[in-house]
Copies of this chain bind each other. A is one copy, B any other.
Amino acid sequence: MNITLELANEVIAAVQWRAQYEGIAVACAVVDTGGNLVAFGRMDGANLITIDTAIGKAFTAISIGADTVGLSAAIQPGAPLFGTGLTLAGSRSFVPYAGGLLLRSGDEVIGALGVSGAASSEVDHEIGAPSAQLP
């Protein structure tokens, strides 16, 4: 099963509601299980870098089959993925920072969410996390 546009828009609305409540302007992206963009929204005031970063975090999560929250540790010198880094390449950007989350309906992965714009990537992850489990 693949995420629908309707559901993707609901996810983004919920994430943006939380961001607004925290006083943060974020960009949110939802990709389907093929890694292709379904919906995207950038709140007024979010920096330009959040565009590729949010889309890339969603793409990265679905590409590795896991949330991106552990990638920062895995790319440090001596760690297994050292040599992997940020690759800005439009909608296929690889972004090894927290804020990319798998979206699940029950146990099934149906897409991924990317959030960018908070003061740290960990906060991006926290703002997105409550929306990762769908009905």
Residues of A that sit less than 8 Å from B by CB: 34-35, 47-49, 62-65, 71-72, 75-78, 80-89, 92, 94, 96-97, 120-121
- Chain A interface secondary structure, helix, strand, loop or mixed? loop
Copies per complex of this chain: 4
Partner of A89, one of B64, B84, B88: B88
- Known contacts A49-B65, A76-B78; 13 additional CB pairs below 8 A are A34-B48, A35-B48, A48-B63, A48-B65, A75-B83, A76-B77, A80-B97, A83-B85, A83-B97, A85-B85, A87-B88, A88-B89, A88-B94
Bound CA–CA A67/B118 (angstroms)? 17
Q: Is the CB of A49 within 8 A of B63?
A: yes
CB-nearest residue of chain B to A96: B83
Bound CA–CA A81/B35 (angstroms)? 24
Chain B residues, CB < 8 A from A47:
63-65
Bound CA–CA A71/B81 (angstroms)? 11
Chain B residues, CB < 8 A from A85:
83-86
Chain B residues, CB < 8 A from A84:
83, 85-86
